[in-house]
Amino acid sequence: MPFRLGLGLFLFLLAGLARASAVAHQPHIVLELVSQTSTLRPGQAVTLGFHYQIEPGWHLYWQNPGDSGLAPSFTFTLPEGYSAGPVLWPRPQRLASPGLVDYGYRNDALFMVPIQVPANAHPGELVTFSAMARWLVCDEICIPGRAALELKLVVKKKVPGPSKNAKLFTLAAQALPKPWPGGWKAQGTLDAKAFHLAFATPDKPTQALFFPLHPNQIDNAAPQEYRFSSHVVHLDLKRSDQLVSGVQTLEGLLVLKSKKGSKSYSISLPLSSR
Amino acid sequence: MRLGSLILTACLTMTGTLAAQAAAVGQPAPAFSATDIQGKTVALAALRGKTVVLEWHNPDCPFVKSQYKGKMQKLQKKWTDRQVVWLSIISSAPGKEGSLDAAGAAADVKATQSNVTATILDPTGKIGHAYGAKSTPHMFVINPKGVLIYNGAIDNDPLDDAVSDKTQDGAAYVNYVDQALTQSLAGQKVSVPSTAPYGCGVKYAD
């Protein structure tokens, strides 16, 4: 795979950049750089997104890819005064193959990035957002991909209206992990074998799943043992054999499934050891 | 909330489904004995007194191909010249990506001008599971006492686009295996003994 910038690839990329558009068709992937709003407004943030449509059977990876794989990466080249916030990672799913569990996405994924528009942006100005996206797409086999994308939006004084892709953003924002409610108790301990987590929730979920933000903490492929009692979700996660130093805080996503659907929460849980 | 007492009972619910302890840094490396593609027996116990590198291999994986554009062969040469034993292990199940017979694996070694000491076929995944090998290339380093001293990625540049020894994040390029071998052979403690391996998942048998 031509990762290193040989002259041929360099020229190819130059040609590609010159013709960069908002859409890239790559093996097993269609990627589009999209905007939540149809215009920009001085001083107001706009949310852009990398929208992947993934061929059935193939997958992309979460920020912690799990046992194998690689997280996608996104780099913006922005006009002066514009700044990009962190990627808002959608909730992943467990992707199991024999002996391994990865974390990632099938079918469709929108990676949103908030962009701050400077207060002194000039109404009438056409702004170009250039981005380089890189990813690894896998089924049984893996194929790295990269694309230079470009999106142009005009600055206007009026409140920006929704773009044709606004619905994608609404749905993706609803599905983003929420902060763990401050009033809900949570506890975690780590012993020689496992992380033992307990979360107090008002609803009784039917399933609980944890996605660790950092690699080498939990054994990804081990079954996650969960049970519920008196509004407390108990989750036991086998510790990774590669966890050699201590962990003070376990960070990740807690997904609670119930009849009403599933909710996900960002967790940062101080651990006591035993 | 009676979280405290509930947590105590929670730990008793851990079931016996947990896999056997895989290779842990600082612990004796799991023993194995296998036949290499030349028909010779390779037993880890017989290699006591030597430093051993295990490289999980899949010639069709893009991360492996990327390493085999020259970096991996150079690293193998550097350390096998200093009496390090370098074993390439293929745990792809028959019919899955990277699965090769002895002749195919020998052809791969020749085509890539690989400098490994030996190549071991592990189609049942027995050695791979014993070590918890997750991806290709997943790397392990074992010291002359048979203790695992490194478990993880080959380097910190998964996309293989470090330029002038800087990764795209601006960090200095580090080959963790080279670093572990350099430190271990100099009698020092390995400063980064464990990293998250990256690459293609090992194509284990179902």
Q: For residue B89, give the nearest of B53, B62, B40, B47 by alpha carbon.
A: B53
Range of the domain at A37: 7-174
* A170, two tokens: 């609404």
Q: Is B182 helix (H, G, I), strand (E, B) or coil?
A: helix
The verdict on A204 and A143 lying in the same domain is no
Boundary (domain end) residue, out of A174, A198, A215: A174
In a domain, residue A11? The reply is yes
Q: Which residue has the higher pLDDT, A5 or B49?
A: B49
Please write the tens of the pLDDT for every residue from A229-274.
888 999 999 999 888 777 899 999 999 998 888 999 999 999 987 6
The verdict on A132 and A203 lying in the same domain is no
The verdict on A156 and A206 lying in the same domain is no
Q: For residue A127, give the nearest of A116, A137, A135, A138 by alpha carbon.
A: A116
The verdict on A73 and A164 lying in the same domain is yes
Which residues in chain B have their CB less than 8 angstroms from residue A1's CB? 62, 65-66
Q: Does A178 touch chain B (CB under 8 A)?
A: no
pLDDT higher than threshold 90 for residue B166: no
CA–CA separation, A98 and B17 (whole Å): 15
In a domain, residue A48? The reply is yes
Q: b/e string for B102-121 if b means 16 or more Cβ within 10 A?
A: eeebeebbeebebbbbbbbb
* B57, two tokens: 């291999």
Q: Please give the C-alpha separations between residue B97 and each of A108, A226, B34, B35, B104, in angstroms, as whole numbers.
A: 25, 35, 21, 21, 13
Quote the pTM value. Answer: 0.87
The verdict on A119 and A132 lying in the same domain is yes
Please write the tens of the pLDDT for every residue from A43-56.
999 999 999 999 99
In a domain, residue A201? The reply is yes
CB contact under 8 A, B14 and A236: yes
The verdict on A114 and A59 lying in the same domain is yes
CB contact under 8 A, A143 and B201: no
CA–CA separation, B49 and A161 (whole Å): 71
CA–CA separation, B94 and B204 (whole Å): 9
Whether the CB-CB separation of B32 and B127 falls below 8 Å is answered with yes
Mean pLDDT of B174-192: 97
> Parallel, antiparallel, or unpaired for β A59-66 and A232-238?
unpaired
The verdict on A34 and A131 lying in the same domain is yes
- pLDDT, position B169: 73
- pLDDT, position B126: 97
Q: Is A260 helix (H, G, I), strand (E, B) or coil?
A: coil
The alpha-helical segments, DSSP class H, found in B36-89 are 62-67, 71-80
The verdict on A257 and A141 lying in the same domain is no
The verdict on A154 and A220 lying in the same domain is no
Boundary (domain end) residue, out of A106, A141, A174: A174
Q: How confident is the model at residue A202 (pLDDT cuts 50, 70, 90)?
A: confident
Share of chain A above pLDDT 90, in %: 82
Please write the tens of the pLDDT for every residue from B74-114.
999 999 999 999 999 999 999 999 999 999 999 999 999 99
Q: How many domains does chain A have?
A: 2
Q: Is B83 helix (H, G, I), strand (E, B) or coil?
A: coil
Number of CB atoms found within 10 A of residue B7's CB: 20
Q: Which helix (H) or strand (E) holds A12?
A: helix A7-18
Q: Which of A241, A245, A269, A274 to mutate to test the interface with B (most CBs of B within 10 A)?
A: A241
Whether the CB-CB separation of A204 and A224 falls below 8 Å is answered with no
pLDDT higher than threshold 80 for residue A34: yes
Mean pLDDT of chain B: 89
pLDDT higher than threshold 50 for residue B23: yes
CA–CA separation, A30 and B58 (whole Å): 27
* B186, two tokens: 């100099």
Q: Please give the C-alpha separations between residue A112 and each of A61, A84, A168, A172, in angstroms, as whole numbers.
A: 15, 11, 10, 8
Boundary (domain end) residue, out of A141, A174, A207: A174
The verdict on A145 and A209 lying in the same domain is no
Count Cβ–Cβ pairs < 8 Å, chain A vs chain B.
Answer: 143
CATH of the domain at A184: 2.60.40
In a domain, residue A1? The reply is no
Please write the tens of the pLDDT for every residue from A127-172.
999 999 999 999 989 999 999 999 999 999 999 999 999 999 999 9
Number of CB atoms found within 10 A of residue A63's CB: 15
The verdict on A141 and A233 lying in the same domain is no
Max CA separation in chain A (angstroms) = 64
Mean pLDDT of chain A: 91
- pLDDT, position B22: 65
* Long-range own/partner contacts, residues A71-74 (CB < 8 A, 24 or more apart): A72/A111, A72/A133, A72/A134, A72/A135, A72/A136, A73/A133, A73/A134, A73/A135, A73/B159, A74/A50, A74/A111, A74/A113, A74/A131, A74/A132, A74/A133, A74/A134
> Parallel, antiparallel, or unpaired for β A261-273 and A178-179?
parallel
- pLDDT, position A17: 46
CA–CA separation, B93 and B59 (whole Å): 14
Q: How confident is the model at residue B167 (pLDDT cuts 50, 70, 90)?
A: confident
CA–CA separation, B99 and B111 (whole Å): 16
**DSSP secondary structure code for residue A121 in this structure:** P
Answer positive or negative: Cα dihedral of B35, B37, B40, B44.
Answer: negative
Q: Does B164 touch chain A (CB under 8 A)?
A: no
**Residue B137: cis peptide before it, omega within 30 degrees of 0:** yes
pLDDT higher than threshold 60 for residue B2: no
CB contact under 8 A, A185 and B3: yes
CATH of the domain at A112: 2.60.40.1250
CB contact under 8 A, A238 and B60: no
Mean pLDDT of A120-132: 97
In a domain, residue A2? The reply is no
- pLDDT, position B18: 34
The verdict on A108 and A52 lying in the same domain is yes
Cβ-nearest to A141 among B22, B60, B194: B60
CA–CA separation, B99 and B145 (whole Å): 32
CA atoms within 13 A on the CB side of A158: 7
CA–CA separation, A21 and A29 (whole Å): 15
